[in-house]
Amino acid sequence: MTHLFNNPYFLASIGGGLIGISAGLYYLFLGRIFGISGFIFSLFEKPVFIRIFSILGLLSAGLILNLIGAFNEINQISPLPILALAGFLVGYGSKLGNGCTSGHGICGISRFSKRSIVSVIIFISSAIITLLLKSRLGF
Amino acid sequence: MLKSTILSFLLSLIFGFGLGISGMTNPKNVLGFLDVFGNWKPALIFVMGAGILIATPIFMFAKTKSKPILQNDFPILPEKIDFNLIFGAIIFGIGWGIAGICPGPAIVILPKFPIEILVFIGAMIIGGSAAKLIHRT
């Protein structure tokens, strides 16, 4: 059992399954796409309670996981100026492109949206090229 | 309304646990996944793979319904592939590739890195406002 819980493929599949079931049920019951950039940008738009409690749910998961030490191995995070630049671009892009990894990546593909499939192919390619340039040019 | 609010909280809680368990909340994993031409760590494909595998039948079932179970109507979602979608995805990808953080995992790891993530989310909101201003979306 311990082997399984140290296996990144197993954890990715279980985690992905939980993500899929919650995003699917969110649409089935609430009729809304589980899109986290959307929650952040339009937190105070209708339906305001659903948006706020969705953010609170994610945050509560983080609090619990942090308390039980699930994040202990996360010791690398970019320095503040880099985070500010990355955050700006993530915000700019997800606002303009109307979604991020959750809304386009999970929900969009699962409902066979052409728009989302195009978006995901482009943003993953763009991120891979960014990383390639970063490592080749030594940023 | 109360039911919807409680359900939105519970489903987001599960979604957040999913992100944490999957390894998406560790920027090092995300950058390893994107480092296809370097030291590639493909595990995170399974997050999207399993997620889509489970969500697809639920979305298909939802399509057979005239309205969501707790609300009055399904939203009308845009289907047009336009400049904003493509340019937005390019910019989003650059930001994601720089720090290995996207909006969901950012909120989940906020308790671990409060200052760093508040800077990230603050910058995100500024970036979103800039996009709105420049492109009049």
The DSSP result for B47-79, as a single string, is: HHHHHHHHHHHHHHHHHTSSS-SSSS-PPPPP-
Establish if A59 touches chain B: CB-CB under 8 angstroms. yes
Q: Give the number of C-alpha atoms closer than 13 A to the C-alpha of residue A84, restricted to the C-beta side.
A: 5
Q: Looking at CA atoms only, how far is residue B78 from chain A in angstroms?
A: 8
Indicate the burial class of A45 (C-beta count within 10 angstroms; 0-12, 13-18, 19 or more).
exposed
The reported pLDDT for the residue numbered A16 is 98
Average pLDDT, chain B: 96
A-chain residue closest to B109, CA distance:
A62
pLDDT tens figures, B45-99: 999 999 999 999 999 999 999 999 999 999 899 989 999 999 999 999 999 999 9
Confidence label for A13 from pLDDT (cuts 50, 70 and 90):
very high
Q: What value does the mean pLDDT take over residues A96-125?
A: 97
ipTM of this predicted complex? 0.96
Bond before A47 cis per omega within 30 degrees: yes
The reported pLDDT for the residue numbered A1 is 57
Q: How far apart are CA A77 and CA A100, in angstroms?
A: 20
Contacts of B121 in chain A (CB under 8 A): 40, 87
Q: Is A113 helix (H, G, I), strand (E, B) or coil?
A: coil
Contacts of B34 in chain A (CB under 8 A): 124, 127-128, 130-131
Give the number of other Cβ atoms within 10 Å of residue A20's Cβ: 28
Establish if A73 touches chain B: CB-CB under 8 angstroms. yes
Q: Looking at CA atoms only, how far is residue B105 from chain A in angstroms?
A: 9
Confidence label for A2 from pLDDT (cuts 50, 70 and 90):
low
